[in-house]
Amino acid sequence: MSKAPARIRKAVFPVAGLGTRFLPATKAMPKEMLTVVDRPVIQHVVDEARAAGIEHLVFVTGRNKGVIEDHFDQQFELERTLAERGKDKELAALRRDLPAPGQTSFTRQQAAQGLGHAVWCARDIVGNEPFALLLPDMLHFSAVPCLAKMMAAYEDVGGNLVAVSPVPEDQTQNYGIVGVRDPEDDVTEITTMVEKPKPGTAPSNLHITGRYILQPEIFELLERQKPGAGNEIQLTDAMLGLLERRDQDFHAVRFDGELYDCGSKLGFLMANVAYGLTREDLGEPFRAALSKVVGKLG
């Protein structure tokens, strides 16, 4: 009988990018702190990780990102003021969101040398165990949270997993793309992968959506990884190296929900509409207000 795969306890959140597509908003504020309705984008992604059973949150930060650390810390003055003013609901919500003491770690990527390099910066904190990786600007909107679905698949197949979703054929050059054994399957073996393939050369139209479960051996490959597309150290290139060693399984898990790339202006605006419309306390009045705006300006 095969051994159950090692438990995933830690999740890495690379938040050291420059966010140039969102300037000037990101001049002094991290793009991960932009809000979708009333929660910072990073909080939505941390919610997804915690819903999947993640215990320890590892943030790879950079310059101007200190506010992310503050966001996940206790704000005593604020809590005292809320208590004094009888704002019990707000206080309870803040406390619910607060990670337990000792369950966050922060490290720095001194220069934004690419996603692969950012992940490598987490190697000492992650140690020799498999981990989840969530790109905080990609919001995965679905009934079953994406990472929870991946965790369930991991229980069955172990190894390395990436979430994938189809993109139009003429857009594959903008993404990390995987080739798979059976594109119709919900969970299928990965046969190859490439970061930003030249037009017409992509092995499929399935792109990596920004959710991963990785074995710690990825760090050895990242350590030696040369810069790739965009002259950045690419995670996809290191994953391809691990795949080609053929000593670990690599599976793609299909993500069936809606994806919002909050690193792009359009994706961010769409996320606010989608999350706003589906909020119990806000959906109805927001829908009415939105139709009014669209009616006037649309």
Q: In the bound complex, what is the minimum distance in angstroms from residue 102's beta carbon to ligand UTP?
A: 23
What separation in angstroms does the CA of 181 have from each of 24, 107, 254? 43, 37, 13
Which of 6, 7, 20, 70 is in the footprint of ligand UTP by CB under 6 A? 20
The dihedral over CA atoms of 191, 195, 201, 206, expressed in degrees to the nearest 10, equals 60
194 is written with which tokens? 């490439």
Element (H, E) at 24: none
Q: In the bound complex, what is the minimum distance in angstroms from residue 28's beta carbon to ligand UTP?
A: 14
Does residue 197 interact with ligand UTP by CB under 6 A?
no
Residues 132-161 touching ligand UTP, rule: CB under 6 A, are 135-137
Does residue 228 interact with ligand UTP by CB under 6 A?
no
In this structure, are strands 250-254 and 187-195 parallel, antiparallel, or unpaired? antiparallel
Q: Which stretch binds ligand UTP (CB under 6 A): 67-75, 107-115, 212-220, 248-256?
A: 107-115
Burial class, 160, CB count within 10 angstroms (exposed 0-12 / middle 13-18 / buried 19+): buried
Q: In the bound complex, what is the minimum distance in angstroms from residue 121's beta carbon to ligand UTP?
A: 8
Q: Rounded to the nearest 5°, which phi and psi values hold at 121?
A: -60, -20
**Binding map of ligand UTP across residues 44-63, x = CB under 6 A, - = no contact:** ----------------x---
Total site size for ligand UTP, rule CB under 6 A: 21
Does residue 82 interact with ligand UTP by CB under 6 A?
no
Q: In the bound complex, what is the minimum distance in angstroms from residue 209's beta carbon to ligand UTP?
A: 12
Does residue 176 interact with ligand UTP by CB under 6 A?
no
Q: Which stretch binds ligand UTP (CB under 6 A): 20-28, 122-130, 154-162, 236-244?
A: 20-28
Q: Select from 191, 248, 251 the least CA-distant residue to 216.
A: 248
C-beta separation of 212 from 151 below 8 A: no
Q: Is 26 left (phi over 0), alpha (psi -120 to 50) or beta?
A: alpha
Interface with ligand UTP by CB under 6 A: which residues? 14-22, 60, 109, 112-115, 117-118, 135-137, 263
